[in-house]
Chain A
Amino acid sequence: MKIDVSTVDRPTTLNSTDKPKEPADHDEVTGSGEVLSVQHLTIIDASRSWVGYEIDDIWAHRELLYFLVWRDLKVRYKQTALGVAWVVLQPLLMTIIFTVVLGSLLRVSSSNVPYPLFAYAGLVLWTFFAAAASATGNCLVSNAHLITKIYFPRLMLPLAIVCARLVDLGVVLIILIGLMLYYRIPPSTHLLLAPLFILLLALFALAFGLWTSAVNVKYRDVALAMPVLLQLWMFASPVVYSLDMVSPKLRLLFLANPLVGILQGFRAALFGTRFDWRGIAVSVVITVVLLIYGAYAFQRREKTFADIV
């Protein structure tokens, strides 16, 4: 016998409005003379609207975001001998491996940029994306103990994961600056656009994570398939090789991958080369569409999530 508990199929939304109340109505002077002010009026019903998306609720819990990021970072490196050094070691070791295998042995094209620098720039972005996407994809399931016991805006969980990985990314970017100085790459005005590509990548990771986490609640296969999918995705994106190596016919197909535009754009910003605006436009459009759909799918799922587990 297999028994699933699920709520009604119709989409339901928790409609909460934290409105400042009329002071005259509810303020109550207690026996001790203390004025007890009632600040919120919360209405819980089966309403369906999601347009507001609890923006004020998220704002009210903004400090929780800080604590969740802080918890993530603290716990992750608390019991490792090398601690935070792992953040740097991961892309660094991978860069060395790919430099030896692809750069020296196979002489893969890196668009006239020193291969180690080229690979490191791609790998730090990739490491960030893979870590953020796989962790957000699992965030509803891995935080089931919280979700079934306490209320807070669930969107905090994926947001906190992406923010924590952004902090990691900030650390590894310091090494990137060191490498650029070492290889004497002159900074150009293009460099000012680099943060925008990081932001775009973070939004895409969030969008992808929101969508997969919603699917993952129902089909746990997603979490199992994710490592393989990400591995494939990495080699399908110009992380450790240049798009120059791809034949022009195939290149059009590559552009459908939003990571291509972001990776190429980030490198163009770093090394002062030409931007491929077509690829960047594709990335922006896909990110925006997926973010809206992901947020919708996520909030649809989170409302009934406590009933499914």
Chain B
Amino acid sequence: MPSIISVEHLSKLYHIEVRASETAYNPQAATLRDSVSGWLHDPFGAFKGNGKLTKEELWALRDVNFTIEQGQIVGLIGSNGAGKSTLLKILSRITQPTSGRVKLCGRVGSLLEVGTGFHPELSGRENIYLNGAILGMRREEITRKFDEIVAFAEIDRFIDTAVKFYSSGMYTRLAFAIAAHLDPEILIVDEVLAVGDAAFQKKCLGKMGDVAHEGRTVLFVSHNMVAVQSLCERGLWLQNGVLRDDGSATEIVSKYLKTSSAAIAEQSWDDLDNAPGNDQVRVRRASVRPASDATKKTDVHTPLIIEFEFWNRVPGAYLNLSVVVSNEEGQPIFNTGSGHDPVWSQRPFPEGLFRSRFHIPGDLLNDGTHRVRLLFVKDQTTVIFQFADILIFEVEDSAKRTGWYGKWIGAVRPKLKWETEFVEDESIVMAGVQ
């Protein structure tokens, strides 16, 4: 198999200018006034190179090398800021590398965002032609594939309606349909699965699979590891701009999940005098761990135990621990307190080391990052010490999901008891009417 994408020593440097002045009326562009006033203030600053601007170098990509063979479906994974978007932008020719080079054999169709170039005032039909032309299709090519695109997007009834009246699902379907019918030798897809319903996701995955079976190459970026594992044969893992690992998708995903998140699953301070806290309490250790076998893979179904160790330094204090668990949006999900502890809740604490824990049942938390804030409350009224983000942990999506890969809606994802009864046979009801 010939290599269709070859990336050699690819690097991309961004200069991030951190400006000391606070005149950020438009952070996107320097204004002439800034330049003029800066020059008046310090006419030789530009030559001395020690003006108000301090430039920080940021290597979004550093010496990345890989080749992709024709017909492969490759999943590109990595945390935010790892360089995935920069790599896709270079491959799509939107931005230039600082050094190194890329060889692409064939036409590239890139879908970095759903509906790029759509004009809201234009109809679906008009946007198919416009978007197709922007993506590099010929007019007769679009005409030839027009019916197929409309059928794939399932919008035939609304084809002459302005797309501003489309639902987000219709919009997404149409955008994906156009890009998928571009017949590129290389299809670059970024996170389109984040939108759309289950049926559509399945269709997109199916289409990407078909595209690959036709001998075309797919480069797929997603934060959804389940989708990457089920679709891709090969995984590329970027970390801080460097290609960290390359291998089969299943292997790379599992390696990535083990080390990925900036999670704080446990932290401890053994020295009483330097531990976080004050004259009244100090924290010795905090941890989150699965309640069951720790070697098994944890996901949304796994019950968790959160445990704290702390020193009480005031004999006879009436202490309560209060814990707030928030999700990645900073939205508190629940607050729980040790007031429910059957033994110590109403008892004075002697001086010394204590260990408290609580259990979070499985099938409660939604997938995503969770942050834990710990508060020490005295006499049930006064917060004497608090510690934000004492623990940060990731709840992984279930590996067993099939059919749809979107995030479940809501702060929690409880498994509730459901009951359905068969009440009456419809044929009996109909018979009764007659």
Whether A2 lies near B22 (C-beta < 8 A) is yes
Q: Which residues of B, 66-121, contact A by the 8 Å Cβ criterion?
A: 70-71, 89-108, 110, 112-113, 116-117, 119, 121
Partner of A67, one of B28, B98, B130: B130
Contact A218 B30 (CB under 8 A): yes
- Least CB distance from B404 to A in Å reads 26
- Using Cβ atoms and an 8 Å threshold, which residues of chain A touch B35? 219
How distant is the Cα of A38 from the Cα of B92 in the complex, in angstroms?
17
Q: A150 at the A/B interface (Cβ < 8 Å)?
A: yes
Verify B15–A5 contact, CB threshold 8 A. yes
Residue of B nearest to A309 (CB): B28
Task: Kindly report which residue of chain B lies nearest to residue A12, judged by CB atoms.
Answer: B96
List of B residues within 8 angstroms of A303 by Cβ: 96
A93-101, A140-148, A267-275: which lies at the B interface? A140-148
Counting CB contacts under 8 A, is B259 at the interface? no
Contact A149 B113 (CB under 8 A): yes
B130: chain A residues within 8 A (beta carbon) = 67, 70-71
In the complex, how many angstroms separate the beta carbon of A79 from the nearest chain B beta carbon?
Answer: 7
A39 at the A/B interface (Cβ < 8 Å)?
yes
Q: How far is the CA of A26 from the CA of B30 in the complex (A)?
A: 47
A32 within 8 A of partner (CB): yes
* Residues of chain A contacted by B2 (CB below 8 angstroms): 25-26, 28
CA distance in complex: A45, B17 (Å): 24
Q: B45 to chain A: closest CB distance in Å?
A: 16
Verify B26–A220 contact, CB threshold 8 A. yes
CB of A151 to closest CB in B, whole Å = 4
Q: Is the CB of A152 within 8 A of B136?
A: yes
* Chain A residues whose C-beta falls within 8 Å of the C-beta of B116 in the assembled complex: 145-146, 149-150
Contacts of B31 in A (CB 8 A): 219-221
Contact A74 B122 (CB under 8 A): yes
Identify which of B13, B17, B35, B93 gathers the most chain A CB atoms within 10 Å of its CB.
B93
B18 at the binding interface (Cβ < 8 Å): yes
CB of A306, distance to nearest CB on chain B (Å): 5
**Given A32-B214, A34-B215, A61-B136, do A5 and B14 touch, yes or no (CB 8 Å)?**
yes
Tell me, in angstroms, the Cα distance from A207 to B24 when the chains sit together: 32
Bound Cα distance A74, B105 (Å): 36
Residues of the B chain whose Cβ atoms lie less than 8 Å from the Cβ of A6: 14-15, 17
Kindly state the interface size class of chain B when it binds its partner. 35 or more
Query: What is the CA–CA distance of A77 and B102 in the complex, to the nearest angstrom?
Result: 43
Residue of A nearest to B140 (CB): A63
Q: Is the pair B96, A304 in contact by a Cβ cutoff of 8 Å?
A: yes
Name A111-132 residues within 8 Å CB distance of B.
none
Q: Report if A228 contacts B (CB, 8 A).
A: no
Between A8, A79, A146, A309, the greatest number of chain B beta carbons within 10 A of the residue's beta carbon is seen for A8
User: Is A67 a contact partner of B129 (Cβ separation < 8 A)?
Assistant: yes
Query: Does B213 sit within 8 A of A, measured CB to CB?
Result: yes
B25-59 Cβ-contact flags toward A at 8 Å (1 or 0): 01111111101000000000000000000000000
Determine which of A1, A16, A30, A46 lies in contact with B24 in the assembled complex, contact meaning CB atoms within 8 Å. Answer: A1
A46 partner residues in chain B, CB cutoff 8 A:
96-101
CB-contact partner of A220 in B14, B29, B102, under 8 A? B29
Interface presence of A196 (CB below 8 A):
no
In Å, the complex CA distance between A63 and B30 comes to: 35
B307 contacts the other chain (CB 8 A): no
User: Which residues in chain A, 206-255, are within 8 Å of chain B measured between CB atoms?
Assistant: 217-221
| Residue B309 at the chain A interface, CB threshold 8 Å | no
Which partner residue on chain A sits nearest B89 by CB separation? Answer: A306
Q: Flag if B24 contacts A74 (CB, 8 Å).
A: no
Query: Any chain B CB within 8 A of the CB of A21?
Result: yes
Minimum Cβ distance to chain A for residue B15 (Å): 5
Contact B18–A36 (Cβ < 8 Å): no
Question: Given contacts A32-B214, A151-B92, A304-B96, is CB(A219)–CB(B29) below 8 Å?
Answer: yes
Chain B residue contacts of A309, Cβ below 8 A: 28
CA distance A254 to B130 in the complex (A): 43
With A5-B14, A152-B136, A221-B32 known as contacts, the answer to whether A79 contacts B121 (CB < 8 A) is yes
**Residues of A close to B181: CB separation below 8 A:** none
Partner of B104, one of A7, A28, A44, A61: A44
A174 within 8 A of B: no
Q: Among the interface residues B104, B117, B136, which one has the most CB atoms of the partner chain A within 10 A?
A: B117
Query: Within the assembled complex, what's the spacing in Å between the Cα atoms of A21 and B26?
Result: 47
A35 vs chain B, min Cβ distance (A): 9
Complex Cα distance, B129 from A278, in Å, reads 47
B139 CB-CB contact with A under 8 Å: yes
Q: Which residue of B lies closest to A9 (CB)?
A: B15
**Which A-B residue pairs are the 6 nearest by beta carbons?**
A2-B19, A30-B215, A45-B101, A151-B93, A67-B133, A4-B17
Residues of chain A at the chain B interface (Cβ within 8 Å): 1-9, 12-14, 16, 21, 25-26, 28, 30-32, 34, 36, 38-46, 60-61, 63-64, 66-68, 70-71, 74-75, 78-79, 145-152, 217-221, 303-304, 306-309
Could you pull out 5 A-B pairs where Cβ atoms are within 8 angstroms?
A42-B108, A45-B96, A46-B98, A150-B112, A306-B89
B residues sitting closer than 8 Å to A (CB atoms) are 1-2, 4, 13-19, 21-24, 26-33, 35, 70-71, 89-108, 110, 112-113, 116-117, 119, 121-122, 126, 129-130, 133-136, 138-139, 185, 213-216
Given contacts A5-B17, A152-B134, 8 further A-B contacts (CB under 8 A): A1-B18, A4-B19, A63-B138, A74-B121, A150-B112, A150-B135, A151-B93, A306-B89
